[in-house]
Amino acid sequence: MELHFHEDLADFRQEVRRFLRTNLPHEVRDRFRRGMAINREVMASWHDKLVEKGWAARAWPKEYGGAGMSETEQYIFHQEMASEGAPLGHLSWGFSLVAPTVLEYGTEEQKQRFLPDILNGRTYWCQGFSEPNSGSDLASLKCRADRDGDHYVINGTKIWTSYALQSDWMFGIFRTSVEDRPQKGITMLFIDMNSSGIDVKPIKTLEGGAEINQTFFTDVRVPVENRIGDEGQGWDISKFQLTRERYNVAQVAVTKHLLNRLKRIASEETSSYGTLMDDPDFSRALYKFELELTAFEAVEHYLIYDPNNTDTVDADKMTILKIRGSELHQEVTRLTMDALGYMAIPYFPAPDALLSNEVLIGPVHAAGMANEYYNTRKTTIYGGTNEIQKNIVAKGVLGM
Amino acid sequence: MPVGMTEDQKLMSDSVRKFIQENYDHRTRIQTTESETGFNQSHWALFAEQGWLSAAVTEENGGLGLTDCDTVVLVEELGRGNFSSPFWSSAIFAGEILSKAGDNEIAANILQKMLAGEVMVSVAYAEPNARFTLAAVETEATQVGGGYRLSGEKHVVMWAGCSDHLIVTARTSGKRDDKNGITLFLVDTHSEGVSLTSYETNDGQRASNIILDGVLVDENAVLGIQEEGYQLFEQACDRAMLFLAAEAVGCIGALHDQTLDYLKQREQFGRPIAKFQVMQHMMVDMNTELQTATAMVYAAAHHRSLDIPDTEKSRMISAAKAQVGWSGRKVGEMAIQLHGGIGMTYELPIGHYHKRLVAIDRTLGDADFHLRRFQKLDSQAAGI
């Protein structure tokens, strides 16, 4: 169901849609639709088109190569990106988390140094926050950054680092002091992943994937110029980054895309009623979900809606987007698993494998769906568990 | 187990638990499920020796003379250890059909060999377009000379790759979805015309898709009565499902216990996270699901032994199957959530139990299918 908001920006939406339909490479769209990884070269060729159009860095000020789009324009743009099958992929962190941090807290020298390679899509970033003993209680983190002349020396470990192996740089928070409250002794550093002393070990996830890692630091030397903000400011900066996560609006559009895929699958799966779409019970569950997703999209619209362009954000209020959005994302993968019947049982190699001459185990639409269901269990955990998020809403929004 | 076990049940439960502790910790499980065959032949030999392969078979057929509740106790322990093997598919499901197949010397012979651990048997019944409807059989059996020629397609046949024999549901007359006209056949896996595409399953087991292309069998291959195989098959499915649900109870129990342990050990914000009210409430929800699933399965087992109409017994089993489907999914997802980041890892047993529970839900009809059956059986109307 398509909601119609921002009709005053209808022309802009059409322009974006036309651009995407003309320029998005078929391979990117296809692989995104099938939940497959997109390699760096392919992403780069697509990214270059965005750069050429001036739309790669939508939120940045124009003086740094950005498009200077308003909040609403960015929101519309991201919706169209996701519904056309144009993922930000691994590059999204550079744009949505690192760049705003540099723009807000970085020195002019740091802006000149880091922004261009983010803008041109040549740098992949990973996040170094969680530690084995500091998950929900992130402020208790222990990975040390000790000052030694014009360097910090890092010792310790970070865990759940997504895509660390494929990343060029890490933005992380480290302990520079134990004197005061834990939050006050945390500092943000940008680390070149090629530095000596860094060891990345992949962690296999329950469905067999390897996107997350544990990163070990042994006397890793990081120049002081790679510190963002002041010593002891790291905690505040990480909280600032959380407010940027509201731009995860693509979640709704991604979930919609998964719902459309589910409808296609249900039309292909047979049952004693004909197809699964003809099955009244399944159909009811599917449309109930669509209704809930539509309602959630409306929630998202009204939370982000900023008609007077005040550019102020109540980050705590945005938290509900993460809570409900992650639950809905999980629900559609669950329904998709249900749709598969017996075909939820076989282990399908990642959809990539179907491109070679392997014998098909089942219908093409089943490939990768179980893996996706299991992997999506993470959405209510990463970025702060939904339980923690609810605490934030209770305290920060409801004043409890 | 909802009420006190008998002495014998306790002995059996303890010996299975000990077997798991000594031979099948999680690391070993990973190695075993990743091996070529997916299970350890020496475990199989031990099961035969202990008589566990005979768990579901009546005494006159060489079984242990266990009640349904006894067998539930045994299988629950295997589920608690997430023991991955052809035990359910061969010893329980195929064993049930072979032992109820009436006067068939060949079947009786194979059954004895199977109980002794010498051969394995898989049941090939599900077809790609059938979803969960047992009678939706399109595989054809045409009479040829004194025997039959079988042609058709079966999918997700558990452990067929290591089975010497297959039990196949095929249609000797009627059209798809007719309950009449279905016949059960015993087929040698290595017969000409049988081809397998074998693969791993998400829960570390093995299965195959099977194509039967003009497979010739003689009249001795018929199990039970020709044309009237459906009733035997449906009853066997009911009993096999009960024990599958029992395995799920074991998995749910393990998830519950391991999650509770973790919550008590893991410290954040200066204390064990078990002290946080949200964690406590979620754990209580898990506990409630565990008790519900356990009670429903044992109740279904108990009702099988009573002098009540068959439709009521079937209804109880469908209720148990649906319940473990719902509880299993809920508990599996909650266990991962309560473990946080570490719940997403392959190294932890949690995710593997969750995958097993999903596979169990998906076998012989998911929760929705059994809810529908529960509904239909209410008016004592026939069948699925």
Give pLDDT tens digits for B13-33.
999 999 999 999 999 999 999
**Rounded-to-integer distance, Cα A68 and Cα A96, Å:** 14
Mutation pick from B344, B345, B363 vs chain A, by most beta carbons of A within 10 Å, is B344
Q: Determine whether the interchain pair B340/A381 forms a contact, defined as Cβ–Cβ distance below 8 Å.
A: yes
Residue B122 at interface with chain A, using a CB cutoff of 8 Å: no
Q: Is A359 helix (H, G, I), strand (E, B) or coil?
A: coil
Give pLDDT tens digits for B288-301. 999 999 999 999 99
Exposed, middle or buried, A302 (CB in 10 Å: 0-12/13-18/19+)? exposed
Both tokens of B25, joined, read 């910790």
- What does the DSSP assignment read for B184-216? EEEEETTSTTEEEEEEEBTTS-EEEEEEEEEEE
- pLDDT beyond 80 at A91: no
Counts for chain A of helices (H) and strands (E), in that order = 13, 10
Exposed, middle or buried, B163 (CB in 10 Å: 0-12/13-18/19+)? buried
Segment holding B333, helix H or strand E = helix B310-339
| List of chain A residues whose C-beta atoms are within 8 Å of the C-beta of residue B199 | 346-347, 361
Q: Determine whether the interchain pair B345/A206 forms a contact, defined as Cβ–Cβ distance below 8 Å.
A: yes
Nearest C-alpha of chain A: how many angstroms from B346? 4
The interface residues of chain B toward chain A in range 68-87, judged by CB-CB distance below 8 A, are: none
The interface residues of chain A toward chain B in range 261-280, judged by CB-CB distance below 8 A, are: 269-272, 276
Whole-number Cα distances in Å, A52 to A42, A66, B78, B364: 16, 12, 61, 55
pTM: 0.95
Instruction: Judge whether B44 and B106 are in contact, CB under 8 Å.
Output: no
Nearest to A370 among B199, B202, B279 (CB): B202
| List of chain B residues whose C-beta atoms are within 8 Å of the C-beta of residue A208 | 346
- pLDDT beyond 60 at A308: yes
One-letter amino acid for residue A233 of the chain: Q
Nearest C-alpha of chain B: how many angstroms from A181? 13
Q: Determine whether the interchain pair A337/B344 forms a contact, defined as Cβ–Cβ distance below 8 Å.
A: no
Whole-number Cα distances in Å, B174 to B127, B136, B179, B182, B382: 17, 11, 8, 8, 18
Q: Determine whether the interchain pair B199/A347 forms a contact, defined as Cβ–Cβ distance below 8 Å.
A: yes
- pLDDT beyond 70 at B84: yes
Q: Determine whether the interchain pair A140/B268 forms a contact, defined as Cβ–Cβ distance below 8 Å.
A: yes
Q: Determine whether the interchain pair B341/A135 forms a contact, defined as Cβ–Cβ distance below 8 Å.
A: yes
Q: Determine whether the interchain pair A347/B126 forms a contact, defined as Cβ–Cβ distance below 8 Å.
A: no
- pLDDT beyond 80 at A37: no
Instruction: Judge whether A139 and A212 are in contact, CB under 8 Å.
Output: no
> How much is the mean pLDDT over chain B?
95
Residue A299 at interface with chain B, using a CB cutoff of 8 Å: no
Q: Determine whether the interchain pair B201/A381 forms a contact, defined as Cβ–Cβ distance below 8 Å.
A: no
Mutation pick from A158, A206, A378, A382 vs chain B, by most beta carbons of B within 10 Å, is A206
Residue B211 at interface with chain A, using a CB cutoff of 8 Å: no
User: Cα(first)–Cα(last) distance of chain B, in Å?
Assistant: 30
Q: Determine whether the interchain pair B346/A281 forms a contact, defined as Cβ–Cβ distance below 8 Å.
A: no
Residue A387 at interface with chain B, using a CB cutoff of 8 Å: yes
Q: Determine whether the interchain pair A206/B363 forms a contact, defined as Cβ–Cβ distance below 8 Å.
A: no
> Residue B345, Cα to own-chain centre: how many angstroms?
26
> Residue A179, Cα to own-chain centre: how many angstroms?
34
Nearest to B344 among A271, A344, A378 (CB): A378
- pLDDT beyond 90 at A85: no
What is the rounded average pLDDT of the residues B260-274?
A: 97
The interface residues of chain B toward chain A in range 241-270, judged by CB-CB distance below 8 A, are: 267-269
What is the rounded average pLDDT of the residues B118-143?
A: 96
| List of chain A residues whose C-beta atoms are within 8 Å of the C-beta of residue B200 | 346-347
Nearest to B346 among A135, A204, A382 (CB): A204
Residue A204 at interface with chain B, using a CB cutoff of 8 Å: yes
The residues, any chain, with a CB within 8 Å of residue B362's CB and separated by 6 or more, are A341, A342, A344, A345
pLDDT of residue B381: 55
Residue B198 at interface with chain A, using a CB cutoff of 8 Å: no
pLDDT of residue B384: 46
Mutation pick from B208, B356, B362 vs chain A, by most beta carbons of A within 10 Å, is B362
Facing residues of B121 across strands?
A: B165
- Reading phi first (left if > 0) and then psi (alpha if -120 to 50, else beta), residue A192 is in beta
- pLDDT beyond 80 at A38: no
Segment holding B374, helix H or strand E = helix B367-376
Q: Which residue is listed with tokens 């905690």?
A: A235
- pLDDT beyond 50 at B317: yes
What is the rounded average pLDDT of the residues A339-361?
A: 76
What is the rounded average pLDDT of the residues A169-188?
A: 96
More confident residue, A303 or B368: B368
- pLDDT beyond 60 at A356: no
Beta carbons within 10 angstroms of residue B111's beta carbon: 24
- pLDDT beyond 60 at B349: yes
Nearest to B344 among A205, A345, A359 (CB): A205
Residue A347 at interface with chain B, using a CB cutoff of 8 Å: yes
- pLDDT beyond 70 at B61: yes
Q: Which residue is listed with tokens 């959530």?
A: B337
pLDDT of residue A253: 81
Both tokens of A293, joined, read 């997703």
Residue A361 at interface with chain B, using a CB cutoff of 8 Å: yes
Q: Determine whether the interchain pair A136/B345 forms a contact, defined as Cβ–Cβ distance below 8 Å.
A: no
One-letter amino acid for residue A80 of the chain: E
Q: Determine whether the interchain pair B156/A374 forms a contact, defined as Cβ–Cβ distance below 8 Å.
A: no
Instruction: Judge whether B152 and B128 are in contact, CB under 8 Å.
Output: no
- Write down the ipTM of this complex: 0.95
Residue B373 at interface with chain A, using a CB cutoff of 8 Å: no
| List of chain B residues whose C-beta atoms are within 8 Å of the C-beta of residue A337 | 358
pLDDT of residue A396: 92
Both tokens of B130, joined, read 């059938």
Both tokens of B272, joined, read 């064990």
Nearest C-alpha of chain A: how many angstroms from B279? 9
- What does the DSSP assignment read for A115-144? HHHHHTT---EEEE--BTTBSS-GGG---E
Nearest to B344 among A206, A271, A343 (CB): A206
One-letter amino acid for residue A93 of the chain: W
Residue A130 at interface with chain B, using a CB cutoff of 8 Å: yes
Q: Determine whether the interchain pair A206/B340 forms a contact, defined as Cβ–Cβ distance below 8 Å.
A: no
**Rounded-to-integer distance, Cα B121 and Cα B107, Å:** 11
The residues, any chain, with a CB within 8 Å of residue A139's CB and separated by 6 or more, are A182, A183, A186, A235
Nearest to B156 among A136, A208, A345 (CB): A345
**Rounded-to-integer distance, Cα A155 and Cα A195, Å:** 13
More confident residue, A359 or B248: B248
More confident residue, B161 or A122: B161
Nearest C-alpha of chain B: how many angstroms from A81? 29
pLDDT of residue A218: 98
Instruction: Judge whether B38 and B201 are in contact, CB under 8 Å.
Output: no
**Rounded-to-integer distance, Cα B2 and Cα B251, Å:** 16
Residue B360 at interface with chain A, using a CB cutoff of 8 Å: no
| Portion of chain B with pLDDT greater than 90, in percent | 93
| List of chain A residues whose C-beta atoms are within 8 Å of the C-beta of residue B128 | 362
Whole-number Cα distances in Å, B364 to A211, B270, B374: 34, 47, 14
Residue A55 at interface with chain B, using a CB cutoff of 8 Å: no
User: Cα(first)–Cα(last) distance of chain A, in Å?
Assistant: 36
| List of chain A residues whose C-beta atoms are within 8 Å of the C-beta of residue B263 | none
